[in-house]
Structures are given as structure tokens and as C-alpha cells.
Structure 1
Amino acid sequence: MKLEVTKEAAAWFKSEMDLQSGDYVQFVVKIYGGIPTPHPSYFLGLSLGKEGTIAIKDEVEGLTFYFDDRDAWFLENYDLAVVLKNNDVDYVFT
């Protein structure tokens, strides 16, 4: 159960989403549509700002990327690497 965001991916978030150091990016579990995942019928979405209790996080380039305690189950059997690939972010579950 690990979340890792590369420096290059964090820089992409800063540029594309106009984020500043100190901002929070929350991964939220969704049932319909979003970032594909290895969980059947579940997807990831993004929310800006800090909400809930942070359970899993990675701080990169001044940004905090995290799952709150309600959605931490999502990574129980997986690690998630957020990387830059072909000038876009890619979500790699292992």
C-alpha cells in the first residue's frame, strides 16, 4: 500500500491545474467514470483541497497527494505510481 508521485508528474499537476506549493490533491474513489483502475467498476477522480483525515500521502514539489481514510482501502493490495508519460500523467497500479 504505497502512493508515489514523481517530480515530473507533480510539476505537470502544478502547470496544468495551476497549483501552488502547499496545495492538496486528493484521490477519490468513484463508481462511474474517471481514471481506470484494477478494481472492477471503480475509478479514481481528483479533488483539490484538504478534506477528511489523510491516510496515505506523498509530498512532492510542495504538493500533498493523498487518499483519505474513507478511500484508503483502495490501495490495500496495490501500490500506485503517478508518473509522466508522453507529456501526460499516467496512473500505474502494481
Structure 2
Amino acid sequence: MKFEVSKEAAEWYKNEMGLKQGDYVQYYVKLYGGIPTVHPNYSLGVSIGKEGNIAIKDEVEGITFYFNDGNSWFLKEFDMKVVLEKEELDFIFHKKQII
């Protein structure tokens, strides 16, 4: 599993959520509603702060973006990249190839 947040997406989060250096942004799994994903009936939510043990992270522009242990299953078979496209966040999922 690979998780990446682009510099432009990190700047978007900083501006929209009033984040500063050292802050944490957690992605968590939700049933329905929220950021659409590759998992049917599941979506992603986002919150500010550090909760639980960090399982996978990307540190960009002084901000730590992460999934904790309880939600890391979400990326087990996928790589996820958060990018900014036309001033909107886009969540790109790629299924990992098993060799």
C-alpha cells in the first residue's frame, strides 16, 4: 500500500482547514457519504488531530496526513494519491498488481 498527498493538495488543506506546521490530518473509513472510494458502500472522512497509532502516512508541507491502524485495511490492496485538479481535491486509487 502506498499513500501520497501532493504538495498542491497539502496547500489546499492548509488554506481550507487553517492548518499549520505540525498538524495532523486523519483519513478514516465511513459507511456511505463523504469522499467516494473504490470500496462499494464505503467512503472517507477527514478530521484534524492525531488519534490512535499511525499505520501509514505522508508528511507534506509540515502536515502529517495519515490512516491509523483501525483504518489501514482500506489501502491494503490499493495505492492512494490525493491531488488537486482544477482547484478541487481528487482521490486517485490504483489497485496494486500482485506479481
Under TM normalisation by the shorter chain, which class is it?
over 0.9
Instruction: Please give the alpha-carbon distance, in whole angstroms, between the structure 1 residues aligned to 2:10 and 2:51.
Output: 20
- 2:59 aligned partner: 59
What is the one-letter code of the residue matched to 1:23? D
- Deviations for 1:60-81, whole angstroms, at most 9, x for unmatched residues? 0000000000000000000000
| TM superposition score normalised by structure 2 | 0.93
Gap regions ≥5 residues in structure 1 = none
Q: CA deviation at 1:88?
A: 1.3
Gap regions ≥5 residues in structure 2 = 95-99
Q: Which runs of 4+ in 1 moved over 4 A?
A: none
State the identity %. 63
- Deviations for 1:13-34, whole angstroms, at most 9, x for unmatched residues? 0001110010000000000200
CA RMSD of aligned residues (A): 0.5
- 1:14 aligned partner: 14
How many corresponding residue pairs? 94
Instruction: Please give the alpha-carbon distance, in whole angstroms, between the structure 1 residues aligned to 2:14 and 2:88.
Output: 13
Higher Rg? 2
